[in-house]
Structure 1
């Protein structure tokens, strides 16, 4: 046999993947000290620099959490950048009264907004107001009070579901804050 070992790339079944290659692949290691993970997520070294750090997913998240957008800028440059950002995003604020962005200020999900609508409340209602409205609707539409009214039973079930959605959302928010 001339040439040494025979390749396993011939015939069927093929013993390695079709997309695999025998060429070496350069893997960049995370730029964080003592991290051995692949650094496949670029991050700017400074706000206006083309140079990049390359982090793993964990360290990229840490970097983004602690990133100071205004670092290295003078007070005038900070004000100018903030002004430019507000100017560029101002159209969204001006169009908000048309309701294009959806209801509320973005802190509540669409399910929560629907639940507030069922309870006939505004989007900025607090949990005490929600509980008060839920109790009022539950008392008015309870099956024991209205035994043969199918519509009242549906309203009662809707109020219960709305209360469950809003209560769990409030609990979730309080857990995140803790």
Structure 2
């Protein structure tokens, strides 16, 4: 007589792995004609429509590569829609300083990368290099050195703004670390 074996379906937490149930599961197949892969990636059928296609990952990537959210809108409508969406998501941007942390790999924000481009520095430049590059470039285009030169004044303002962005980021890193 074979020994009775206890089921793995008892207690909390469940002792069997999740997704390891005994009953059959329904798997939705990709909506692309001829594809037999599981369709677990939703893609909108039309802008602002609740209806979704269900594609496999490769077909969802192909579909989204060509997706234009503003298709069929004129310039004024595009601008109005973009402005309303920025207003809706502005709360997330304002609250970004409440976030837990960055990506954790030492990467820089897009603003920091643009500031480094203005100073013509690499992404891994330390703050000493930033300071040195700012001073060298600012001396060359300072309004006292080139009075009345609008281009030099604009360049100086760009350099100043870039330095401020990188200085604030450095101060945040020092404060967190």
Question: Which bin holds the TM-score, normalised by the shorter protein?
Answer: 0.3 to 0.5
| TM-score where L is the length of structure 1 | 0.44
Which one has a bigger Cα radius of gyration?
1
| TM-score where L is the length of structure 2 | 0.44
